Structure 1
Amino acid sequence: MRSSPAELRARADAASAHLPGLVLSAERLAAMVAPGAHGLRRAGPGEDFWQYRPAHPGDTARSIDWRRSARSDAQFVRDREAQTAQAVALWVSAGQGMDYSGAPDRPSKRHRADLLALALAMVLLRGGEKVGLLDQPPRAGRAQADRIAQGLTMAAAAPDDSDAPSADLLRPNRRVVILSDFLTDPAWVQTLLARAGALGVRGVLMQVLDPDEENFPYSGAVLFRSLTGRVRHDSRDAAGLRDAYLARLAERRDWLRAQAQGAGWTFGHHATDHAPALALGWLYQVLGG
């Protein structure tokens, strides 16, 4: 259903109020990760040394590194690293379940995912990459970080607990970063990764959870319900559910990891009580590898 003008204005006002804080936090977080172009880790034209390799038939005498070759009986070529800019697309789930936080002093999953996405964009943009949200064209330059921040804060919550990116938005030869809690029906992951494989798209699945969802610290009588209220479970012995819950969570992660690896992607997870710099550094390294 289309939003009314009043609802759109209210959403814009709320987004504007949160935008400066998100940008400032993302800038501070991005500053913790070393900037600079990281290339695609393959031989090609560039300025940075990558590796020595044994000379092959067809290598010219000019390509031989004679100083390195003098230290052994073989001849070696000094490879440089290709410095081709990547195009990276970001997607953050807007499912209502992402608004969950188990404690008032912890950020919601969506806030942490937005922070990681924006900080990652800033780091990549500093390195000369083109970055954008999945439904927008990737661009380079500092102004693009502002566009991404606005897109993240203006995104309306999905009508349900679940949310999924459209596989039709994938474009060839891009890297894609998906941030979600992956707690609802994950069938869309198979569809997305199948399409990605056909297009040569590689990327990352990052599961963001609240520590209560990681550890299930509940006991006694607890009423569990989704944020939409559509899913409810009234338990008289919540502690008795812990082992089964943790087993299901581990099973879900194993499935996500297997799906990612099968498509040439990488799976990782992050809890909102952990330092976001650790997750950001991991994402940056995965994309640069």
Structure 2
Amino acid sequence: MTLSSTELRARAQAASAHLPGLILSAERLAAMVAPGAHGLRRAGPGEDFWQYRPATAGDTARSIDWRRSARSDSEFVRDREAQTAQTIALWVSGGKGMGYAGAKDRPSKGTRAQLLALALGMVLLRGGERVALLGQQARSGRAQIGRLAEGLAGQALAEGDEDAPSPEVLRPNQRLVVLSDFLTDPAWIEALLERAAAMGVHGVLLQVLDPDEENFPWSGAVRFRSLSGALRHDSRDAAGLRDAYLARLADRRDWLRIRAEGAGWHFGQHRTDHPSAHALNWLFQVLEG
């Protein structure tokens, strides 16, 4: 679809109006969750001490910390923390369904996902990592926060329900954080994880749902339709669909978890009526590990 200059200008103005609030909310969230974060901890050729670990068959005598080993019956190696910045890419689904909010006092799934992505980016940048939206150039430094915020705030929902990141823009050994409701055809997830595994890319899948999508509170005669209007279903007894729906949702989550773990990734869940801080803290912890 080609947008007119008037439509493009209107979208740009709407994004710029949303930008200050998004940045302020993300800064508050990032400061609350991980005020002392210093990057993703990992062993490497740095100078700062990280941890002691039991010696393994591949460790040389020179790498053994004999003073620490003398206090026990085992030999220990003193690991240092890597100082080389890592590259983390962020992707937030723009599928039409991400605009859903089951109540006026709850954010849409897309709004919550954008907030989490930006706050996570802030925490990672504060730790010296290189961060970008998927497909863009990763940079470090505070100026990158503005670029992330502009990219997220300017993201318009797609015309249809489907949206997927292109596996072609993955880069070797980066980390990828994918935020979506994962309610549409999941074939793209298998393709993404397969290519990621071949390139040494690890990451996180975070499913963001509205509580109505988890609890299925409807009963009586209900007309269901996707936000794009492409899918419709009329039911005279919505409550009778609840068990089948919840079983399908559980199956989808099991499928996502199994595929993620098989590729060396993590899978998590977040509801828009739950504190953002819990999801952000989990995201940072699994990336740190």
| TM-score scaled by length of structure 2 | 0.95
Percent identity between the aligned chains?
68
Gaps in structure 2 of 5+ consecutive residues: none
SS at match of 2:146: helix
Distance in 1 between the 2:162 and 2:56 partners? 53
1:68, 1:76 within 8 Å by CA — same for their partners in 2?
yes
Residues 233 and 182 of structure 1, relative CA distance in 2, 3 Å threshold = same
TM-superposed CA distance for 1:71, in Å, is: 1.9
Match of 1:58 in 2: 60
Gaps in structure 1 of 5+ consecutive residues: none
- Residues 9-56 of structure 1 show CA distances to partners (whole Å, capped at 9, x for unaligned) of 000011111111110000000001224334452353230331243376
1:48, 1:81 within 8 Å by CA — same for their partners in 2?
yes
Give 1:229's aligned amino acid.
Answer: G
SS at match of 1:31: helix
Q: CA RMSD in A?
A: 1.5
1:206 correspondence with 2:206: yes
How many equivalent pairs are there?
A: 287
Distance in 2 between the 1:98 and 1:175 partners? 23
1:36, 1:128 within 8 Å by CA — same for their partners in 2?
no
Match of 2:147 in 1: 147
Match of 2:271 in 1: 271
In the TM superposition, what are the counterparts of 1:121-270 in structure 2 within 5 Å?
Answer: 121-270=121-270
Distance in 2 between the 1:212 and 1:147 partners? 33
Distance in 1 between the 2:284 and 2:100 partners? 26
Give 1:149's aligned amino acid.
Answer: A
Give 2:283's aligned amino acid.
Answer: L
1:37, 1:83 within 8 Å by CA — same for their partners in 2?
no
Match of 1:95 in 2: 95
Does 222-231 or 273-282 show the bigger shift?
Answer: 222-231
Distance in 1 between the 2:279 and 2:72 partners? 42
TM-superposed CA distance for 1:73, in Å, is: 4.3
Distance in 1 between the 2:196 and 2:53 partners? 33
Residues 96 and 55 of structure 1, relative CA distance in 2, 3 Å threshold = closer
Does 80-89 or 267-276 show the bigger shift?
Answer: 80-89
SS at match of 1:159: coil
Distance in 1 between the 2:70 and 2:267 partners? 43
SS at match of 1:270: strand
1:37, 1:129 within 8 Å by CA — same for their partners in 2?
no
